[in-house]
Structure formats: C-alpha cells, structure tokens
C-alpha cells in the first residue's frame, strides 16, 4: 500500500462493479479514504469489503446518480464522514438498448441521458463547493470512445458521452483558477459488468476485438490506472484533458 493519497478523500459513483470498483480499489490502495457509491447496494458493499480486506479505508453510501437529492446527500455524507473531498470519480453509467433514432423511445432517451449525462452535472454541482472551500481538488468524469465517434443504434449513449466531454472542458475552465482540475477519461471496450454479455457471444466479441489495434479488450484496472494518475499530483498541470485508454481504437 502506497501513501500518495494519504489523508485524502475520494468519492466514486458506480463503484459496485467494473471500472468504478477498480478505481475505488486503486485509490484506496494509494491511501485515500473512499466513499463507494452505487445504486446496487450488494455490489457496493462487496467493493468496500475488498478494500477493507487489503487494509484500505472505505464506506458505502447508496445513490442513484440521476436523482439530485440523492447526489446531494451522497456528497454531504462523504464530507460528514471524512471531513473533506479531494477527488471525485463520476463514473456511473449504463449502455442503451440498440435502436435507430426514429425507434428510440423518449423514456429510454431520458433514462440514458439522466444516468450518463445529467448525473455528471449533478455530481459536479455538489462536489465543487467542497473543493472550492478547501482551495483545490480533482474530478474525473467517465466518457467513452462514444464521446468521439458516432455509432448506429446508440443515439442517446453517444449524445451522453459527447456531452460528458463538453461539460468537462467547460467546468475545467470555470474552476482552473481555483486549483480544481477537471478531466475526463475515455475507455474503449473494457471488461466490466457492461460487457459481460460478450462472454455468451464469442463471435461478436471477436469482431469487436478485431477493431482494437492492440488486439484485446481493456481491463478495468487499465482504466483505474488512468483515473489515479489524473487525480494525483503528477497530473498537477492537467485540466480539461480527455485521457483515451482504448488500445488505439480511437486513432484507427
């Protein structure tokens, strides 16, 4: 266990699985106290157990990130418990049921935009005042390869992930002079709860992996490594950046 984040507090949304879980584990491994949050209580509590097993400090607080009052409560609970907020990983997200633009129903649009896009606005809205009060902090918003490209059948998901990048750049400019760095991370196809369905569809998995120049899916740990870097002091002059971790797919 390293001490790079000793005395610091992080909140991670969607930390009951995949990229969020590995980010929470990695930050705790570096010495941060981590508020693990998810809509899935069982998954979140499992992440806390994993952190505690490796002698890290973590606590679970449930939150549906699309609901303003729940996000406000989560951030307040974090500060009440740990006294400060240094790092925030706004990671929770969902994929969408594939659908053409005409066939996409409004309820599905609202669900995906609420969980993937509005949530990032809500999280930053309630996280930033605590960082302002202490004169600094680091926020990492999780976007996607879909934040750069279009893909047929994914209108709401693509809109949400493009939007996360736009919000990251705008908020980064608003708070740069206050020592708060706001960056995004853009994973490519990554092994996580979101992609477990591919286990049952090996041919589709092979087709998708064929699009990745490095010839494999990412691991959630690969993304967590980027999250830790963006949160840490070695990225102290980095803000408004989108860190792409995708085995080369975006540039292909």
Residues lying near ligand NAD in the complex (CB under 6 A) are found at 13-14, 16-20, 38-40, 43, 63-66, 91-94, 115, 142, 144-145, 187, 189-190, 192-195
Please state, in angstroms and rounded to a whole number, the distance separating the CA atoms of residues 90 and 12. Answer: 6
Tokens of 230: 């963006």
The residue (of 135 and 202) whose beta carbon lies closer to ligand NAD is 202
Tokens of 204: 């589709």
Is residue 40 a contact partner of residue 16, using CB atoms and an 8 Å limit?
yes
In terms of Cα–Cα distance, which of 204, 99, 102 is closest to 158? Answer: 99
Please state, in angstroms and rounded to a whole number, the distance separating the CA atoms of residues 70 and 68. Answer: 5
The residue (of 153 and 179) whose beta carbon lies closer to ligand NAD is 153
- Minimum gap (Å) between residue 159 Cβ and ligand NAD: 13
In terms of Cα–Cα distance, which of 249, 251, 228 is closest to 19? Answer: 228
The residue (of 86 and 191) whose beta carbon lies closer to ligand NAD is 191
The residue (of 9 and 61) whose beta carbon lies closer to ligand NAD is 61
Residues contacting 204, CB < 8 A, separation 6+: 198
Which residue among 82, 126, 157, 175 is the active-site one?
157
Please state, in angstroms and rounded to a whole number, the distance separating the CA atoms of residues 16 and 42. Answer: 7
The residue (of 16 and 137) whose beta carbon lies closer to ligand NAD is 16
- Minimum gap (Å) between residue 211 Cβ and ligand NAD: 12
The residue (of 20 and 163) whose beta carbon lies closer to ligand NAD is 20
**Number of other CB atoms surrounding residue 107 within 10 Å:** 8
- Minimum gap (Å) between residue 65 Cβ and ligand NAD: 4
What is the DSSP pairing of strand 190-191 with strand 87-90?
A: unpaired
Note if 157 is an active site residue.
Answer: yes
Please state, in angstroms and rounded to a whole number, the distance separating the CA atoms of residues 90 and 95. Answer: 16
- Minimum gap (Å) between residue 9 Cβ and ligand NAD: 19
Is residue 213 a contact partner of residue 248, using CB atoms and an 8 Å limit?
yes
- Minimum gap (Å) between residue 157 Cβ and ligand NAD: 7
- Minimum gap (Å) between residue 242 Cβ and ligand NAD: 12
Please state, in angstroms and rounded to a whole number, the distance separating the CA atoms of residues 26 and 15. Answer: 12
Tokens of 9: 């507090």
Catalytic residue numbers read: 157
């Amino acid at each position: 266990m390293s001490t790079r984040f000793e005395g610091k507090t992080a909140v991670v949304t969607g930390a009951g699985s995949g990229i969020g879980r590995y980010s929470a584990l990695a930050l705790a491994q570096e010495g941060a106290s981590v508020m693990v949050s998810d809509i899935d209580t069982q998954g979140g509590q499992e992440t806390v157990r994993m952190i505690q097993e490796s002698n890290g400090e973590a606590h679970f607080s449930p939150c549906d990130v699309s609901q303003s009052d729940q996000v406000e409560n989560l951030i307040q609970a974090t500060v009440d418990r740990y006294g400060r907020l240094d790092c925030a990983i706004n990671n929770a997200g969902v994929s969408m049921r594939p659908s053409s633009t005409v066939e996409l129903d409004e309820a599905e649009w609202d669900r995906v935009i609420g969980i993937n896009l509005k949530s990032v606005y809500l999280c930053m809205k309630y996280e930033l005042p605590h960082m302002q009060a202490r004169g600094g902090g680091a926020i990492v918003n999780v976007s996607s390869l879909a934040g750069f490209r279009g893909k047929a059948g994914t209108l709401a998901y693509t809109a949400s992930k493009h939007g996360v990048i736009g919000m990251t750049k705008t908020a980064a400019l608003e708070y740069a002079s206050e020592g708060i760095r706001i960056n995004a991370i853009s994973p490519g196809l990554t092994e996580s709860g979101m992609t477990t369905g591919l286990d049952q569809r090996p041919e589709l998995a092979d087709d998708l992996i064929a699009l990745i120049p490095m010839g494999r899916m990412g691991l959630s740990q690969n993304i967590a490594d980027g999250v830790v870097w963006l949160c840490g002091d070695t990225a102290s002059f980095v803000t408004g950046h989108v860190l792409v971790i995708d085995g080369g797919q975006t540039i292909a």
